[in-house]
A and B are shown apart, each in its own frame.
Chain A
Amino acid sequence: MKKILGIFGLLVFIIVFTAIMNPNFLTAYNIQNTIRWTGLFGIISIGVAFVIMTGGIDLSIGSLIGLVGASLAWLLTVQGVSVPLALFLVLFMSLAIGFFHGILVTKLRLQPFVVTLCGLLLYRGLARLLTGDQSIGFGSAFEGLRFLATGRIPIPFVTGFALPMPFLIMAGIAVIAIILLNFTIYGRYLLALGRNENAARYSGINTDRVTIFAYMICSLLAGLGGVLFALDVNSVQPSGFGEFYELYAIAAAVLGGCSLRGGEGTILGVIIGAAVMRFLANAINILGITHMEFAIIGAVILAGVIVDELVKRWVEHRRALARAVGG
Chain B
Amino acid sequence: MGNVGEALLEIRELSKQFPGVRALQRVSLSLYPGEVLAVIGENGAGKSTLMKILAGVQLADSGEVRLRGEPMQFSSVKEALQAGIALIHQELNLADNLDVGANIFLGREPRKWGLIDTGAIHRASRVLLDELGLAIPTRTLVSRLPIGHQQMVEIAKALSVNARILIMDEPTSSLTQHETDRLYALIRDLKAKGVSIIYISHRLGEVKEIADRVAVLRDGKNAGALDKDEIEHDAMVRLMVGREPIQHEPRNRHGKVEPVLEVEGLTTQTYPNHAISFTVAPGEIVGMAGLVGAGRTEILEALFGVTPATGGTIRVGGAVINPRVPRHAIDAGLALVPEDRKQHGLVLEMMVRENLSLPALRRDQRKGFLNRRAERSLSDAAIEQMNVKTPSASQLMQFLSGGNQQKVVLGKWLAMKPRVLLLDEPTRGIDVGAKREIYRLMESLAEQGVAIVFVSSEMEEILTMSDRALVVHEGALAGILNHDELTEEAVMRLATGGHALATP
Instruction: Say how far A53's CB is from chain B's closest CB, in angstroms.
Output: 12
* Contact residues of A: prevailing secondary structure: helix
Q: Is B343 an interface residue (CB 8 A)?
A: yes
Q: Tell me whether A199 and B344 are in contact (CB under 8 A).
A: yes
- A159 interface hit (Cβ, 8 Å): no
B122 at interface, CB cutoff 8 A? no
Contact (Cβ within 8 A) A203 B348: no
Q: How far is the CB of B162 from chain A (nearest CB, A)?
A: 37
A188 touches B354 (CB 8 A): yes
Q: Which of A10-18, A64-72, A95-103, A179-187 contacts B (4 or more CB under 8 A)?
A: A179-187
Determine if B407 is an interface residue (Cβ-Cβ < 8 Å): no
B345 within 8 A of A: yes
CB proximity of A26 to chain B, nearest CB, Å: 42
Render B307-329 as a binary contact track against A, CB cut-off 8 A, 1 for contact. Answer: 00000000000000000011100
- What are the interface flags for A172-207 relative to B under an 8 Å C-beta threshold, 1 for contact and 0 otherwise? 000000000001111111011001101111111110
Residue of A nearest to B368 (CB): A184
Query: Does any Cβ of B come within 8 Å of A263's Cβ?
Result: yes
Give CA–CA (A102, B62) in the complex, Å.
Answer: 56
Contacts of B368 in A (CB 8 A): 184-186
User: Of A189, A198, A324, which contacts B361 at CB under 8 A?
Assistant: A189
Interface residue A320 (Cβ < 8 Å from any Cβ of B): yes
| Residues of A52-69 contacting chain B, CB below 8 A | none
Q: Taking each of A199, A203, A263, which has the highest tally of chain B beta carbons within 10 Å of its own beta carbon?
A: A203
Q: Is the interface of B mostly helix, strand, loop or mixed?
A: mixed
Which of A184, A192, A327 contacts B347 (CB under 8 A)? A192
- With a cutoff of 8 Å between Cβ atoms, the chain A residues found around residue B354 in the complex are 188, 192
List residues of B (8-37) whose CB comes within 8 Å of A's CBs.
17-21
Q: Mark B324-336, 1 if CB is under 8 A from A, else 0.
A: 0111001100001
A contact residues around B369 at 8 Å (CB): 183-185
Given contacts A184-B368, A184-B370, A185-B370, contact A202 B19 (CB under 8 A): no
Closest to A186 in B: B368
- Interchain CB contact under 8 A, B361 and A201: no
Whether A202 contacts B348 by the Cβ 8 Å rule is no
In the complex, which residues 195-235 of chain A have their Cβ closer than 8 Å to any Cβ of chain B?
195-196, 198-206
List the B side residues contacting A264 at CB < 8 Å.
Answer: 349
Alpha-carbon distance A206/B358, docked complex (angstroms) = 12
- A132 at interface by CB-CB < 8 Å: no
With a 10 A CB-CB cut-off, give which of A183, A187, A199 has the most chain B CB atoms.
A199
Bound complex: CA of A291 vs CA of B330, how far in Å? 59
Chain B residues with Cβ under 8 A from A202's Cβ? 304, 306, 326, 336, 338, 344-345
- Residues of A bordering B, CB below 8 Å: 183-189, 191-192, 195-196, 198-206, 263-264, 320-321, 323-324, 326-327
Nearest 6 CB-CB pairings of A with B: A323-B19, A327-B20, A204-B330, A203-B358, A204-B327, A324-B19
